[in-house]
Amino acid sequence: MVEQPANVDAAVNTPVVVDSNDDGTVAQELELEHMRSTLEEAIVETRSTPLENRPRLPRIAPSKRNRAVVRALNPMLVTYLEASRDLCETDSILFGAALAVCRIIGAKVSTAGRATGHSSAIPAWRRRIEERIAKARALIGRLICFRSGNNRPRIVRTVRMAFAGTNVSLSQPDITQKLTESIDDLKQRIAAWGKRIRRYTERSTRFNQNRLFQSDQKRLYESLERPMVSGTGPAPNQADTVAFWRGLWSEPVNHSEGPWTEVVASQCAGITPMDPVIITPDDVAEAVRRAPNWKSPGLDGLHHYWLKGFMVCYSVLARQFQEALNQKSLPSLFTTGITHLVPKDQGTTDPSKYRPITGLRLLDFPPELRDCSDKMCDKPEHNLVIEKLYDDITSILLDAASYSHKCLKRNKKGYITGWNRHVRPAHIKARLCFQTWVWAGRPTCGALYEDMRDSRRAFKSKLKWCQDNAEQIKMDILAMSCEAKKFGEFWQQTKGLNARVPLPAEVGGITGSENIANMFKAQFKVDPSKIVCSLDDGEDIVNSGISPLRFTFKEVNDAIRNMKRGEKDAGKTALMPFS
């Protein structure tokens, strides 16, 4: 680890030509030379390292010393960036500069690569508990064997060691009861030890997830995804796989164009092509300025903080982005690691039996908008395409919300469907038998013990049945309510089964539920003084002297209350009286 320089702040503005008689200036120049050598070593090291083997850059503190080091490296990067040929090489230079900053300030950088996760070492206390559980299970097995009549010397010796110091003889009449009590005690200890490990695991998982959410949200979401089911057999040869898919994707193919392409070409002939897009350093600076500092980096592992610090790269990035846009080709840095092969069959080594799955990092816009990147597009056909895209996204989100509402796992201690009808009597009996058994001193045999055991089994059986058949019980309750003509209970229970779609966050630029409601109220408000109704003879009501018909709130409320719920057909609005 490189020692942290003492005069970094003073070395930022030091000129190249110095006076050799000034000891302080010479020391500052030596610091600059040390920074140049560290930068060169880091850039050379990064160029020869694959993307997946790059070290993970730490999050550095926004101190004056760290910012001074970044500013000092800016003029040193000009020579390397001017010689850069493409975006991949520029990214390698910037990552090397970030690595050099971490080494200069003494930040801890992982050298094992980003592919390795955290250490999976088991704590010593957990290993001790697991050893206790293993020994207790082995002892339970020996005690059960002895209780069943196995009198082998090894079994007898283990049982004597288990009862050592308890004044229990293996020849006494109630040895079977003592064995049962000892087995139950060991089982309870195993359960307590297991719960202790489970509590620690849950707490540790929550702590690690919260900390990972603060540092790298992308890794957290990847860890929460379900593992992909893959084949259990040997994997295909890598060279054969690359050759197979390169033959499909890289070889030119002459497609047979259909007649519909000519129709589309004729329709698009009158469309005026937009002006070419010119990317300037100011555009790059604006995009970098809005980006968060320490969000999850891409495959290259470079955070946005370093792009904000190394401002000399903006002109080079603008030029290389423009070249990639003109050549209509993406660098390998943007396409590596987003396509995965999923086997169609189990245990196959044929590359053609795999399905490519590509995970897009950005939203895939319709093809009509690929050549349109202007912020103020005035083409009406593009507006229609964007509206359809937004409608599709909204529909997908609503479907996902409804599906997640249906698949939401309820708490086990929450409401149990059919509790009062099926489970409550068994629960009352089991609770009474359990209290009686406790008051009697918790005997391990006899009538009280058997009643407690049987009632507990019956209660758990009924509870398990209700949990497994919750939907069927709900349907039975609905059918009984409808058959008994209890429409109030019927519609109330039906309403609880429907998925609730969340309210929109914004409508027409207006936010807030109250403001949205007032907007709709003003939009559909009807002024009775402006309504003109015609009579049969063509005379208007306003001019005829006849007062218009008016309804009060009480009259409308009474009319709706007198309607019968669910027995009439809905009108054009599809609204039933119960709604």
Task: List per-residue pLDDT tens for the chain, 579 residues long.
Answer: 344 444 444 444 444 444 444 555 656 777 788 888 888 888 888 887 877 778 888 888 888 888 888 888 888 888 888 888 888 888 888 888 888 888 888 888 776 555 444 455 788 888 899 999 999 998 888 888 888 888 888 888 888 888 877 777 777 888 888 888 888 988 999 999 999 999 988 888 888 888 888 777 777 777 776 554 444 566 777 778 878 877 777 777 676 777 777 777 887 777 777 778 888 888 888 888 888 887 767 777 888 888 888 888 888 888 888 888 887 777 777 766 666 677 776 666 777 777 776 654 444 555 566 556 555 566 667 767 777 777 766 666 666 555 555 544 444 456 777 888 888 888 888 888 888 888 877 888 888 888 888 998 899 888 888 888 888 887 777 777 777 777 676 676 666 665 555 555 566 667 666 676 677 667 666 555 554 444 444 444 444 454 455 656 667 667 767 766 555 454 544 445 544
Q: Is the pTM of this model over 0.85?
A: no
Q: Does the residue 435 lie in any domain? A: yes
Nearest CA among 277, 324, 329 for reference residue 87: 324
Terminal-residue alpha carbon distance, the chain: 72
Q: Does the residue 152 lie in any domain? A: yes
Q: How far is CA 429 from CA 270, 453, 459, 467, in A?
A: 83, 11, 8, 20
**Any idea what DSSP says for residue 228?**
P
d(CA 298, CA 302) in angstroms, rounded, equals 7
Q: In terms of residue numbers, what domain contains 443? A: 419-497
Backbone angles phi, psi at 448, to 5 degrees: -65, -40
Q: Does the residue 289 lie in any domain? A: no
d(CA 137, CA 22) in angstroms, rounded, equals 78
What pLDDT is recorded for position 27? Answer: 65
The single residue listed with the structure tokens 């189990």 is 346
Q: Does the residue 68 lie in any domain? A: yes
Buried b (16+ CB within 10 A) or exposed e, 387-414: eebeeeeeeeeeeeeeeeeeeeeeeeee
Q: Does the residue 47 lie in any domain? A: yes
Q: Are residues 142 and 207 in the same domain?
A: yes
**Any idea what DSSP says for residue 511?**
E
If residue 341 lies in a helix (H) or strand (E), which one and from where to where?
Answer: strand 339-343
Q: Are residues 130 and 39 in the same domain?
A: no
What pLDDT is recorded for position 363? Answer: 47
What pLDDT is recorded for position 503? Answer: 53
**Both structure tokens of 135:** 């020994």
Q: Are residues 447 and 476 in the same domain?
A: yes
What pLDDT is recorded for position 109? Answer: 79
Residues paired with residue 506 on neighbouring β-strands, in sequence order: 511
- Which of these three, 224, 259, 293, is where a domain ends? 224
d(CA 444, CA 5) in angstroms, rounded, equals 74
- Which of these three, 224, 259, 288, is where a domain ends? 224
Q: Are residues 98 and 187 in the same domain?
A: no
| DSSP per position, 85-132 | -SHHHHHHHHHHHHHHHHHHHT----SS-TTS-S--PPPHHHHHHHHH
Give residues with Cβ within 8 angstroms of 384, minimum separation 6: none
Specify the number of domains making up the chain: 4
Enumerate the H helices of 216-350 as residue ranges.
Answer: 217-224, 238-249, 259-267, 281-290, 304-309, 314-327, 332-335
**Both structure tokens of 505:** 């966050």
Q: Does the residue 403 lie in any domain? A: no
Three-state SS for 307? helix
Q: How far is CA 514 from CA 82, 464, 505, 523, 559, in A?
A: 57, 45, 12, 14, 28
What pLDDT is recorded for position 20? Answer: 45
Q: Are residues 56 and 130 in the same domain?
A: no
Nearest CA among 445, 454, 439, 231 for reference residue 349: 231
Q: Does the residue 165 lie in any domain? A: yes
The single residue listed with the structure tokens 């497994």 is 468
Query: Contact at 8 Å (CB) between 236 and 354?
Result: yes
What pLDDT is recorded for position 355? Answer: 74
Q: Are residues 157 and 218 in the same domain?
A: yes
What pLDDT is recorded for position 528? Answer: 52
d(CA 399, CA 552) in angstroms, rounded, equals 41
The number of beta carbons lying within 10 Å of the beta carbon of residue 218 is 12
Q: Does the residue 292 lie in any domain? A: no
- Which of these three, 224, 247, 277, is where a domain ends? 224
